[in-house]
Structure formats: structure tokens, C-alpha cells
Copies of this chain bind each other. A is one copy, B any other.
């Protein structure tokens, strides 16, 4: 297996590049959740990031890594989630155009959000084949550069800056564990690399819904198991690992732990109630893992990357 994962220098360069365009998000703590869990928790709040999610980091690094000629041609991706908005914003802030391929059954609110950031939405049938052929057409016709939501070293280096900020902000507080949710693995692989370089003694745990446990299976079997018919409330974590994120995860992540949707919803409610912050279900997976494994984490210092806060409120029922 040969691959060239981002180096510390790559991550530092990504951070310098994107810093003027992103928020340095706060790290929040909660006495109430610490007491409840028996764990000392540090929440890196990427729900307060631009576009409401860590995806702003990777997309911005992707766009800022383009040549002038590429910027003029524009960028494209397929996503109906946070990466779509993040790429749209990154393109607009750099005088480029973004073309976002979305399934024609994506919620109107998602399309509007992307259009609101000045991007062009191109609809396709809701199949993998239609998506890929539509992206190819857009790349050909518009000359746009494809920026993958996660299986891209620039994206991974960008997402790594969230964990980098955690260690820089906490300074002398040494984390025993850092937890990140895992869908396609961009955030988890970036978190793993930043941790390896900056806080080598901190263990890295990927957190995944049981209903979309392809990363867990891939980690156990050491073979890239694709996500098939995933079913979970954590709708940001449906995708499969990629051939760039998978090796990084295999090599640097200490474990992947899964939780049920009921456990995710309990953790979501607790976070909203006790911390007074809106996080999306995909972000509640990490606290759910902590609460399910209290013995493992007992009295430890645990960092949690809150990946985002984009929720369709009408869909959440407690």
C-alpha cells in the first residue's frame, strides 16, 4: 500500500492558507456533562464554523490550493450536505465559480443554501451512476476542477486544522483521547494526522452510527468495506471511506466505536439541553460513544470534535 498522506508541514501550510477565511472556533466545556459522564470533556465547536460545519476548512484549503487558471475555470463537486455549501462559499470568496451536482430529490432548503452562496446547482437522478456521469459532464463542459468532499489530501489537510487548533488552544492540557465522527473519513483522518504530529500520546477514536458502520467494518477487516443501504439519523455519516482516507485511518486511528440511533438522539438532546448549543445528529455520535463507554473514558481528558450544527429543526423530535 503506497500513499502520501499530508505531512505536518502540509497541515501547517493549510492552516496559514485558510486562517483569514475561517473562524477559530471555541472549545466549550460543561460541568454538567462532565458530572454525568465522569469524564473531562472538551468540545471543539465547529458548529460555530462558517457554513455551520468543519467542511469550511477543507473546501477553503482545496480552493486556495488551485492555480489562477483553475480558479477561473471554477470548481465542482457532488454533495447535498455541508461540503456543497462550504465549496460554494470558498469559491465565492476567491472569485471562482462552483458547480454543485445534487440529486433531484435533495431538500429544497439544501439547494437554496448553496444557491445563496452564489453557486450553480446541477441536478441529477439520485443514483451513483447519474451522479458520476453528471460530474464528468460538468468537468468537461465548464472545465471545472473536481474537489471531492473527503477523498482528497488538500481536504484532509484542511480538516486536520480543527484538531490542530484544539491542541494549540488547550496548550498544557494533555488530552487522553480525541474523538471525531466518521463518514467518508476526511475529518477523522485529518484529526488522526494532526494528533500524531502534535499530541502523539493522545489516542484517536472514530465514532460511527451502527446503521452506517462501514468504517467500523473496514477497520476490523482491514479491507475497505463500502457503505451499503446505510440507515441512521446521523445523515452526515452515510458515505463510504475513500482510498485516501482509509489507509490513514487504518494506520493512525486507535479504534472505531459505534452507537445506536437511540443513543445518538439521547446525546443530541443532552447537548442541546445542557450546553445550550445546536449540534447536528452526526456530531452527537461522539458524546454517545463516551456515554456508552464510561469505564473506558473514566476520569480521562477527552476532546470531541463537534462537526457541525446544520439541522432541519422540523425533523428533530425528542
Contact = CB atoms under 8 A, between A and B. Distances in A.
Contact of A318 (B48, B272, B313): B313
B309 A314 contact: no
A277 B278 CA distance: 5
Contacts of A318: 313-314
A47 interface: yes
Interface in A246-295: 269, 272-273, 276-279
Interface in A286-318: 309, 311, 313-314, 318
A52 interface: yes
A276 B48 contact: yes
A49 to B, nearest CB: 9
Contacts of A277: 276-278
A278 B311 CA distance: 13
Given A313-B318, A318-B313, A318-B314, A272 B276 contact: no
B52 A313 contact: no
Contacts of A272: 278, 313
Nearest to A50: B31
So how many copies of this chain end up in the complex? 2
A309 B275 CA distance: 9
A273 B47 CA distance: 10
Interface string A42-56: 000001100010000
A279 B311 CA distance: 16
Interface of A: 26, 47-48, 52, 269, 272-273, 276-279, 309, 311, 313-314, 318
Contact of A47 (B26, B276, B311): B276
A131 to B, nearest CB: 28
A33 to B, nearest CB: 13
A309 B276 contact: yes
A313 B278 contact: no
Contacts of A278: 272-273, 276-278
Contacts of A273: 278, 311, 313
A313 B269 contact: yes
The 9 closest A-B pairs by CB, nearest first: A276-B309, A276-B278, A47-B276, A313-B318, A314-B318, A272-B278, A277-B277, A48-B276, A276-B277
Given A26-B26, A272-B278, A273-B311, 14 more contacts: A47-B276, A48-B276, A52-B276, A269-B313, A272-B313, A273-B278, A276-B277, A276-B279, A276-B309, A277-B277, A277-B278, A278-B278, A313-B318, A314-B318
A311 B269 CA distance: 11
A177 B272 CA distance: 30
Contacts of A269: 313
Contacts of A309: 276
Nearest to A315: B318
A291 B233 CA distance: 33
A276 B311 CA distance: 9
Contacts of A26: 26
A84 to B, nearest CB: 17
